[in-house]
Structures are given as structure tokens and as C-alpha cells.
Amino acid sequence: MKFIVGEDIVLMSSEEKAEVLEKHGLNKPVFEQYLNYIGSILKGDLGYSYRSQKPVTDIVSERLPWTLLLSITNIILSTIIGVAMGTWAAWNRGKKIDIVLNNIFVFFRSMPSFWIGMIFIAVFGARLGWFPIFGAQSVWAGYMGFEKIVDIAMHLIMPTITLVILSVSSIYLTMRYSMIDVLGEDYILMAKMKGLSDKKVRYTHAMRNALIPVVTIVMLNMGYMVGGATIIETVFSYPGMGRLLFEAVTNRDYPVIQGCFFMITICVIAANIIADFIYPLLDPRVV
């Protein structure tokens, strides 16, 4: 770490340099630095930002709610859309609607995220003026109560749609494939032979079994989303973790970078634990 601190320190005099190194504990052996770091994490202390001198814990906890808001909204929407469309396409496999949906979602999947974001800003933000193009809320407007909620929602719409377009395809494709697989199972035939309606067969018998691989995809996405929305958050200047990470990298603010990665790791692990709790609800074979 101390080799890559950057140009600022190169310009300092040797006393100043010694002072900075001393302050951040960078003059100690690497192993000791590592132990100090782990020790502080356990106390909830992620160190201080080189740039703003504020505690990293504060900076991260200021940004995390926005990212969670963005990614949870995205996950809920793209799961609903992906699962519904995937089920529909699988049920109508090989028919026109299936082919059309497949093409749409593969097209979505192959578009670069920053490009979609920029098109949205240019068209719906700048030209049509429907949505705000910057930030997560109009801080200066001093909205209160319901107005504030509406304001936040309006700011959320464009980044969310962009993220949904990016993540819905993998959910759709997984759901469709998994559903096609399940629809070929003998118990589906059995359900049909029992005289159950198509709707009942589709939703009670097929969907529940087909959802299992989708939960994996969704939860993996959820974990990556916290860090993975970097591009979207940067394009929309959304004050989340992704943007914080981007800023920290450009500023060579290592404690903040470490703090971000630490939070992303926690989120990925948390998402996996949630997935592990959901599996047994869907499939009694998983205990």
C-alpha cells in the first residue's frame, strides 16, 4: 500500500511524509498494519479517508442506503418482470411470442449500460424534461414528507429502468430455461391429467420448482449490484456505493476503496445467506 500512495506524498518534505505515515500507521510492518486493520474493523472503524479526513464508516453508511434503495427496487422489478415473462415464454415455447420475447431480452442484454443511461438522460431528462437527471434527491428544494418521497422516486426512475434493462435478461433467460425443463417433467403431465386448469398447472406445479435456479441468479445479482452499479451511479451521479468507489479510485483514497469492498463483501455474503434461507421454502428436499 505504501508504495502506491501516489504523487501527493512524493511532493511532501520528509518530515511531512513521516507525519502522514505515522498518522495512518503506514510506517509499521505490513503484518502489523493488517492486524490493526482487522482489529479496527471489529470495532466498526474502517479508518479515515485520505482525501476528506472523515471516518470511512460514516462515508460508507451515508452512501449505502441509496445503493440499497436502487438495487432492491431493481431486483424486485427485474425479478417480477423476468419471472413473469420467462414463464409466459416457456409456456408458449416455439410460438411467435416466445421468439419475440427472446429477441427483445437478448437485445437488452447486449446493450452497454452507460449507453442506455446516456440515451435516457438525453431523451427523457434533457429533451423531454420528464425526469431529473442528477443525484438522488433535490437537496436544495427542502421537500418534506410526501413531496420528498415523490422527489426521491422521480430521481430513482431512470437509474432503476436502466438497471432493470441490464439485469432482467439473465433472470428472464434462466426462468424460461428452467420452466421449459420443469414443464417436461412427468409431474406436470400428471397435474394436467388430473384435470387441473392450465393456470393452476403453471403457477402451483411448475413455477415453484422452476424458481429455484432463479433465486440463485437473483441473489448473486443482488450481491454484485451493490458494487456493480458503479457505471449507472456514475452516469446518473447517483450518490451510492458504486459512485463512491469510482470517486475513491480516481482520488486514490485507499481506505475508502477498502471500506467499499468490505461493504460489498458483506452484501454478497448476506445475499447468499438470504438465498440459503429461501431454498428450503421452495424445495423441501433442501433442508
Partner 1 sequence: MALLEVRNLTTYYETKIGYNEALQGLSFDLEAGGILGLIGESGCGKSTAGFSMMNMIEYPGKIMDGEVILDGKDLIKMDRNELRKVLWKDIAMIPQSAMNALNPAYKVGKQILEAIKLHFPEMSQEEAVAKVEHLLNLVGIDAKWYHGYPHKLSGGMKQRIIIAMALSCDPKVIISDEATTGLDVLIEAQILALLKKIALDRGLGLIIISHDLNMVTAICNRIGIMYAGMLVELTTTENVLRNPKHPYTRALFSSQIDSKDFDKKVTSVDGVVPKLVNPEDKCRFYDRCNRKFEMCERKCPSLISISDNHRVACYLEGDNHE
Question: Which residues of this chain interact with partner 1, rule CB under 8 A?
Answer: 185-187, 189-197, 205, 208-209, 282-285
User: Considering beta carbons, is residue 29 or 195 the nearer one to partner 1?
Assistant: 195
Between 68 and 275, CB nearer to partner 1? 275
Count Cα neighbours of 177 within 13 Å in the Cβ-side half-sphere: 10
Our CB check for partner 1 shows the closer of 127 and 285 to be 285
For the bound state, the minimum distance from the C-beta of residue 97 to partner 1, rounded and expressed in Å, comes to 15
What is the per-residue DSSP string for 58-116?
Answer: HHHHHHHHHHHHHHHHHHHHHHHHHHHHHHHHHHTTTSHHHHHHHHHHHHHHTS-HHHH
Task: With CA atoms as reference, report the closest residue to 111 among 59, 167, 156.
Answer: 167
Closer CB to partner 1, residue 54 or residue 194?
194
Shortest Å distance, C-beta 205 to partner 1: 5
Please state the closest distance from residue 101 (CB atom) to partner 1, in A: 19
What's the helix, strand, coil split of the chain in %, to 5? 75, 0, 25
Minimal distance, residue 151 CB to partner 1, in Å: 43
